[in-house]
Amino acid sequence: MTLRLVVLISGKGSNLGAIAEAIDAGRCDAKIALVVSDRPDAAGLDIARSRGIETQTLPFEKGIDREAYSAALADLVAQGAPDLVVLAGFMRIVGKSFIHRFSGRMINIHPSLLPAFRGPDGVGDALEAGVKITGCTVHLVDEGVDTGRILAQAAVPVLPDDDRASLHARIQRAEHQLLPEVIHAIANAKMRLDGGLLSRVTIDEDACIIVPRFES
C-alpha cells in the first residue's frame, strides 16, 4: 500500500529530502502529498517546491492560543488526506486537538535513544551527560513530549572528539536511513503502528551506525 504522507517541518528539511530520495529510489512506498511548516522561511519548503510538492505554512503568532493553533494546523494537514503524518524536524509541540485527530497515524523522528534525552536538545543533552552511545528514535506521537510508543531506533556512538555539530551530523545520517525505512515498513505491513518488533540489525561500519532492517 502506497502511503499518502503529510510531512511537517520547521527548518532545513533534511529528513524530508531523505524521504523523497528514498521514494524516488523505490525504497519507500509512499507519496508526499503536502509539506507544512510553521516557518515561512524554512529551507525545507524549497525542497518540496523543487519537486512539485504542495506546501503550506502556518506561523505561530505571538499570543495565539496553542489549542487554537493546533486545531487550525489539523485542518491544514487534513487537506492532504494523509494516511500517515510525519513530523520531520517540526519544532512545535502540537496540542490535544491535533493529536486526537491523527491519533495512531502520526510519527516523529527524535535525535536520541528514547526514553533518554527527551525534549528540544537531545544531541546537546547526550553530550552533557557524557554517554558513549546515543542515536535516533522513530515513535508514535502522543500527548507527552517524546513519550509515544517507540517504533524503531538506530544507535550512534559518541566519539571522544565530538562536538554538537559533529555528533548531530552523524545522528542525522542515521535518521535519513531509519525514517524512510520505517515508513516503507508501515506501508508494506512489516511494522504495525501498535508496536511491531524489528527482526534483525545490520551494522553500517563506515558510519558506525546500527540500522534496523525488516523481514521481507
- What residues act catalytically? 110
Decide if 113 contacts 155 (C-beta within 8 A). yes
Q: In this structure, what DSSP letter does residue 197 have?
A: P
In angstroms, the CA 122 to CA 111 distance is: 6
Q: Count Cα neighbours of 174 within 13 Å in the Cβ-side half-sphere.
A: 33
Query: Does an H or E element contain 34, and which?
Result: strand 30-37
- Residue 195, number of CB atoms within 10 A of its CB: 10
Cell numbers for 169, please give them. Answer: 551530523
Q: In a 3-state reduction of DSSP, which class is residue 211?
A: strand
Instruction: List the one residue out of 173, 162, 91 whose CA is nearest residue 128.
Output: 162
At 142 the three-state DSSP class reads: coil
Distance of CA 164 to the CA centre of its chain: 20
SS3 state of residue 150: strand
Q: How far apart are CA 97 and CA 102, in angstroms?
A: 9
